[in-house]
Amino acid sequence: MIRKLTINDHDLVLSYLSEEPSINLFIIGDLEVFGYDSDFQEIWAEFDEHREIKAVLLRFYQSFIPYAKSEFNIAEFASIIASFPQPIFLSGKAEIVEKFEPFQELQLGKKQETFFAECESIENLGETDLDIKKAGQDHIDQILSLRRSIDEFHISDNAAEMLRTSMESNTARTYFTEEDGIMTACVSTTAENSISAMIVGVCTRKEYRRKGLATAIMQVLFKDVLNAGKVLCLFYDNPEAGRIYKRLGFNDIGKWTMYRK
């Protein structure tokens, strides 16, 4: 049986997700902040004959994240996703989301497989003398302008609304450097919750690269998040970036796959 969850299911679903808290960071964070009654977020679960959860599916705007520990009703979850307007974005633990590839009705976009890494300690973080600033909502346009200048980034049509909502709910923060009023590099968190935070949007303008700006920002941001008692997570596919993250204390814990138009 698959049904939409309500606040009455909160303890049950959190217990289910907590066995892999880093992998389920997005789902846990969104449930803690936005709950079960938002028009842009819903969550479904499949239950077994003992009324125990077998799998879950989260919708956040047009993005979907499935999670399961064993076999589940992939076809029914695919039907739910396909009932929403295109384009849809699907992401999650690699071995789970790849099960949706045969369903043509989902019109899955380009596949991107990344490494998923985790950091729990500040012991590998150095110091910086650079002036690192924390962004406010008045910096959203600058953040998105910088991200759009990066060829590898995919910026959705509702990116500004999503970033504003995340800042208002304290589930995202962005630290940045600037020169002559121009944002030169920035690093963000997303899906921040009571136990963890995801690092995203690590970017530097092309003409300011190889000056250590992003690394300096990460050193400050990582310390702030880790000193708040949270675990840091991120995904990467660039070996050079992976080496930088590992020098900063990250370790690979799995793979994450995304499908985007």
Q: What is the pLDDT of residues 25-68, one digit of tens each?
A: 889 988 988 899 999 999 999 999 999 999 999 999 999 999 99
- Provide the mean pLDDT of the chain: 93
- Measured CA to CA, the distance from residue 81 to residue 104 in angstroms comes to 12
- Measured CA to CA, the distance from residue 104 to residue 163 in angstroms comes to 31
Instruction: Report, in angstroms and rounded to the nearest whole number, the Rg of the chain calculated over CA atoms.
Output: 19
| Assigned fold of 119-255 | Aminopeptidase (3.40.630)
What phi, psi does 114 have (nearest 5°)? -130, 160
Give span(s): CATH 3.40.630.30, the chain: 2-108, 119-255
Strands (E), the chain: 2-4, 41-47, 53-60, 63-68, 89-93, 110-119, 133-134, 174-179, 182-190, 196-204, 231-236, 251-260
Quick: pLDDT tens for 206-261: 999 999 999 999 999 999 999 998 889 998 888 888 998 999 999 998 999 999 87
pTM: 0.74
- Two tokens at 117? 């890494």
Strand-pair partners of 188: 174, 200
Q: What pLDDT was estimated at residue 193?
A: 86
Please provide the CATH number assigned to the domain covering 2-108. 3.40.630.30
| Buried/exposed 24-61: b ≥16 CB within 10 Å, e otherwise | bbbbbbbbbbbebeeeebbbbbbeeeeeebbbbbbbbb
Confidence of residue 200 (pLDDT cuts 50, 70, 90): very high
Quick: pLDDT tens for 134-156: 999 999 999 999 999 988 888 88
